[in-house]
Amino acid sequence: MIRKWVASLLLFLLASLPATLWAASADGASERILSFDSQVAIDPTADLTVTETIRVQATGASIRQGIVREFPTRYTAPDGKAVTAGFRVLSVRRDGHSEDYRTESAGNGIKVYMGKKGRFLSPGEYVYELTYVTDGQIGQFGDYDELYWNVTGNGWRLPIDKATTTISLPPGAAIRQHAAYTGPTGAKGRDYAIAVRPGVFFCETTGMLPPGQGLTVAVAFSKGFVTLPTPVGRALSGPAFHMAAAGLAVVTAFFLTAWFLVGRDPARGLTIPLFTPPADLSAPAARYVRRMGFDDKTFAAGLMEMAVAGGVTIEDSKDVYIVGRGKKRLPQGLLAGRHP
């Protein structure tokens, strides 16, 4: 009886073993971010040069053609100030080789699609490396400057097994204080470990980050080691200004080309100076053409021309000139009015 019961138990265990192994395998191969490492260098210009190394396990469920990194460029800082940050991709690599990517505006930031559209990945592990530059991230306070940095972002729909970040300060800057948080936006989770050495801050998570959760750090350092751009300087270096400048250049090039092709005046011929007035223009007419209008000198020139022709007389009586009728008859209609 006992032998029969033991045999039945063994048969049951053997029958259920494949299903157990399959479940364990499926769980181990589920899509996830195996590691997320962020290397942040704070430049003296207050720009951040960031390299993110993201190792993923892909099965084709969500990660089909690549991964998407969401980066906020407009948000509210912990002190209540509205932040507008710049963002520019320098390079994207997959497994050590250059990778196709594209960026799109989305919500309050930018999405970076890493992977070639239409090219599907086989299940397996992949390592993506995203390098970018961002500005507007350094906050200024009374006696220190601070970087408040969401390392991973909270928009991932996959769990993150481990997240690490290394923040390098400008040469000579010293860390004044630091903090870290894990969990969803606004949470104060403490699943992390911190290590600090001169000018370098390191933080790593000590537990898995579920989907929608991330790692955030804050590092305060001594003032005087970064120079924040003025609002005008940021505007001149921002993408809006570059787009406007490019648009102005295109419009200017268009009008210059149009002027060169059809807008230029014909070439002038040989210019010969003349020392007598045109034969078909009287003195007052020449004055009228030169001035493009009638004035007192036009009238005086007309009187002088009629006096020379004998049509009128001009007498100087002290400070008064008297104009009279001359001996010659004026051409008919010269002084006629416009009305009958």
Report yes or no on 12 lying in a domain: no
Query: What's the pLDDT tens digit per position in 159-169?
Result: 999 999 999 99
How is residue 152 annotated by DSSP?
Answer: S
Q: Are residues 245 and 286 in the same domain?
A: no
Ranges of beta strands (E only) in 107-252 are: 109-114, 124-135, 138-140, 144-150, 163-168, 175-183, 192-197, 200-205, 214-222
Query: What's the pLDDT tens digit per position in 228-248?
Result: 875 555 544 555 555 676 788
Query: What's the pLDDT tens digit per position in 201-233?
Result: 999 999 999 999 999 999 999 999 999 875 555
The mean per-residue pLDDT over the stretch 174-192 comes to 96
Q: What is the span of the domain harbouring residue 52?
A: 32-228
Report yes or no on 201 lying in a domain: yes
Query: What's the pLDDT tens digit per position in 97-116?
Result: 999 999 999 888 999 999 99
Q: Are residues 38 and 161 in the same domain?
A: yes
Q: Are residues 89 and 145 in the same domain?
A: yes
Query: What's the pLDDT tens digit per position in 272-293?
Result: 777 776 777 777 787 788 778 8
SS3 261: helix
Question: Domains in the chain: how many in total?
Answer: 3
Give the model's pLDDT for residue 332: 58
The mean per-residue pLDDT over the stretch 317-334 comes to 70
Q: Are residues 158 and 78 in the same domain?
A: yes
Q: Are residues 41 and 175 in the same domain?
A: yes
Q: Are residues 283 and 247 in the same domain?
A: no
Q: Are residues 68 and 128 in the same domain?
A: yes
Report yes or no on 246 lying in a domain: yes
Give the model's pLDDT for residue 18: 40
Report yes or no on 303 lying in a domain: yes
**Confidence check: pLDDT of 14 > 50:** no
Give the model's pLDDT for residue 4: 56
Report yes or no on 2 lying in a domain: no
**8 Å CB contact between 251 and 257:** no
Report yes or no on 265 lying in a domain: no
Mean pLDDT of the chain: 83
Report yes or no on 22 lying in a domain: no
Give the position of tokens 């009629």. Answer: 306
- Phi and psi for 2 in degrees, rounded to 5? -65, -40
What is the domain-level CATH number for residue 162? 2.60.40.1730
How is residue 160 annotated by DSSP?
Answer: B
Q: Which two tokens stand for residue 315?
A: 């007498």
Give the model's pLDDT for residue 3: 54
The mean per-residue pLDDT over the stretch 18-24 comes to 39
Query: What's the pLDDT tens digit per position in 74-86?
Result: 988 777 778 889 9
Q: Are residues 176 and 194 in the same domain?
A: yes
Q: What is the DSSP string of 81-141?
A: -EEE-EEEEEEEEETTEE--EEEEEETTEEEEEES-TT-PPPSEEEEEEEEEEEES-EEE-
- The candidate with the shortest Cα–Cα distance to 214, out of 36, 44, 59, is 36
Q: Are residues 62 and 131 in the same domain?
A: yes
Q: Are residues 57 and 81 in the same domain?
A: yes
Per-residue CA distances from 319 to 6, 245, 262, 315, 322 (Å) = 147, 66, 58, 10, 10
**Confidence check: pLDDT of 23 > 50:** no
Q: Which two tokens stand for residue 78?
A: 């912990």
Q: Are residues 88 and 221 in the same domain?
A: yes
Report yes or no on 18 lying in a domain: no
Q: Are residues 188 and 161 in the same domain?
A: yes
